[in-house]
Structure 1
Amino acid sequence: MTRWRATRWRAPVQQEPSRGRRRRSWVRCRERWNTPEVNFGRPTRRRIGVALTAGLLLAACSGGSDDAGPEDPTTTTAATTTTVALDNDLRLNQIQVVGTHNSFHVAAPPEERALLEALAPGQVAERTYTHPSLTTQLDEEKVRQLELDVFADAKGGLYADPALRRQAGLPPLIDEIPELAEPGTKVLHEQDVDYHSVCPSLVSCLTELKKWSDANPDHVPVAVNIQFKDGPLIFAVPDQAKPEKWTTAAMDALDTEITSVFPAERIVTPDDVRGDRATLEEAVLDDGWPTLGESRGKVLFLMINAEPYRSLYLAGHPDLNGRVLFTNAAPGQPDAAYLGIDDPVANNEKIADLVAKNYVVRTRADEPDVEARTGETARRDAALASGAQWVSTDYPGPRGAKDQYGTDYLVELPGSVAARCNPVTAPDDCDDTTVEP
């Protein structure tokens, strides 16, 4: 098991469909059968699913060789029937999707870029990526994970007059985006210098996502990564805005903003996953995640930050009771369920081990101005092969980096599907084309 995990990422992932899934499945099923993951505690619906899975694993492991087992001629069914079976059996953590890093980001205009380059040489190159609208990302680029950087703005107007824009002599931003004057969480990368966004507020971003979700009710769950920001700029910009500090009360307000757009039945929450278990981690490790059928048409929210934001969010809500976001918590913590691990090359085996235990992971296929400029794909291939459920990029297909850098670099799943069977956790008979038909 360890050996194939350590080497899988080196294989070019784009060379589907020959993934050798049957051989790896034999190793996986044999290991699962001999681990505590297969247990038969109280007869909840999820435990019944685990028990059925265990029976199938035992049957699968009882014959054949390490190389392959005989193909079952009865497995060919209509796509609809297969999708129904997937919905009943495949779980949220057994799929993989591509997402975008800083999904809101729009590069600054030339006037502002010139000022920033003079102020901090070399910094502009890392901020030149631009995403289209969230709807275009979801529709045309088949993105199923978004990332939003959020700034508290309880009174409104805190980020409505960026310093770099004033220095560049551009028209007042408030005239262009009156919404910035209103109270509520704002979405931008950095105050004053890198603030252009396809959706300026959290509510506007989520409203656009919900509109798309309403029109596409069978989509796999869309993950929204939230990064709390409240620090000073790393640049010596005069008259810069001083961000409002995130507090537990401000995070309460953020939860309220989320639920003002998405009703509870459209969100996969920590309470949903925990059920009647003592802790969220216990539920994840022993019961697993909701099925695909239970989570289609829904969203879930994940916290990118670790401390001190995790503790602020947990205050008054032990084990995330009543909270919307899943925290970024280390294994062994009661709220551990999701981890953000940026580097899939250095942490390939670690990611594979975590997802095999039922944790969910977000990793990054590239860094701005690195892989896209050179066309190097080793990190991308490592990310896709690691088993991370969400692979984040600045260059999703079919857009990629061709227009910006002239390279063929892009990140998409084999077959250009919106979601596929997870290469580490999905069962052997999972069909990529039916995960999101």
Structure 2
Amino acid sequence: MAVVAAAPAPAFLPGVGAGAVEHMAASDARLAAVTAVGTHNTHDQPAYPYLTRAVDAGGSLIELDTWSHPAAGAWTVSHRRMAGNDDNCVAARTTADLRTGADDRDLGTCLDGLRIWLDAHPGHEPIVVKIELKNGFAQAVHRGPAALDTVIARRLGDHVYRPPADLLRKPDQGSYPTLDAAVQADNWPTRAEPGH
């Protein structure tokens, strides 16, 4: 299961104090109270030669710096370069391919690799995928929120956690106006619920 968050600036799940670390590993911890541990700029080659090594190492959060460059033809993944990819993602079709081949691929290819890894690890705890939009959306060239949602849905498929409508439902049968309000009221599922 992957929880995908796209943000124009760094975004983090709400955290808790160090005293609750043991509780955070528990399956009954709510997602809104979990601190995800991962790697800043997970796509950076010196940190991990291949993207999936970050999740192999136990990370529950990966970050992909993404650009919506008008001439690139795809969402590029790089910390500094808008016009080209500079990352550790490879074109994989099987788990054996996840650690071989040429790197520097686009966002879709990075997500393909993550999907293949998730397929090979059923029942894995949720992984937060933070897509940091380095230059925001480029609506003029059809790279807005809907286009990003399409890439995520096509590449990760059923691995993407999509909050069901009942997350908006209050215990008194009323409803929260937004998912943000539901999160602030601790109405998110537990770690064990998404995808299980």
TM-score (norm 1): 0.31
Q: Deviations over 1:408-431 (max 9, x none)?
A: xxxxxxxxxxxxxxxxxxxxxxxx
Q: Residue 192 of structure 2 aligns with which residue? A: 293
What residue ranges of structure 1 are gaps of 5+ in the alignment? Answer: 1-7, 10-18, 26-82, 107-128, 159-182, 232-244, 298-437
Q: Residue 110 of structure 2 aligns with which residue? A: 205
Given the superposition, is the C-alpha separation of residues 229 and 95 from structure 1 closer, same or farther in structure 2, using an over 3 Å criterion?
closer
Q: Tell me the CA shift for residue 131 of structure 1.
A: 2.4
SS state of the match for residue 114, structure 2?
A: helix
From 121, 143, 150, the counterpart of 1:216:
121
| 1:133 maps onto 2:46 in alignment | no
Give the share of equivalent positions with the same residue, in percent.
30
Q: Is the Cα–Cα contact under 8 Å of residues 92 and 295 in structure 1 kept in the other structure?
A: no
Given the superposition, is the C-alpha separation of residues 219 and 257 from structure 1 closer, same or farther in structure 2, using an over 3 Å criterion?
same
Q: Deviations over 1:36-78 (max 9, x none)?
A: xxxxxxxxxxxxxxxxxxxxxxxxxxxxxxxxxxxxxxxxxxx
Structure-1 separation of matches of 2:130 and 2:58: 17
Q: Is the Cα–Cα contact under 8 Å of residues 217 and 296 in structure 1 kept in the other structure?
A: no
Given the superposition, is the C-alpha separation of residues 222 and 152 from structure 1 closer, same or farther in structure 2, using an over 3 Å criterion?
same
TM-score (norm 2): 0.64
| Higher RCO structure, 1 or 2 (CA under 8 Å, sep 6+) | 2
Q: Residue 186 of structure 1 aligns with which residue? A: 76
Q: Is the Cα–Cα contact under 8 Å of residues 36 and 128 in structure 2 kept in the other structure?
A: no
AA of the residue aligned to 1:202: L
Q: Deviations over 1:267-296 (max 9, x none)?
A: 223565445521223212335211222225
Q: Deviations over 1:206-257 (max 9, x none)?
A: 11111111111211111111111239xxxxxxxxxxxxx6338412211110
Q: Tell me the CA shift for residue 195 of structure 1.
A: 5.2
What CA RMSD, in Å, does the superposition of the two structures yield over aligned residues?
3.3
| 1:247 maps onto 2:151 in alignment | no
From 168, 176, 181, the counterpart of 1:277:
176
What residue ranges of structure 2 are gaps of 5+ in the alignment? Answer: 1-16, 90-104, 170-174
AA of the residue aligned to 2:179: L
More helix by share: 1
Q: Tell me the CA shift for residue 154 of structure 1.
A: 5.2
Name the count of aligned residue pairs. 155
SS state of the match for residue 225, structure 1?
A: strand
Structure-2 separation of matches of 1:204 and 1:194: 14
From 104, 107, 132, the counterpart of 2:43:
104
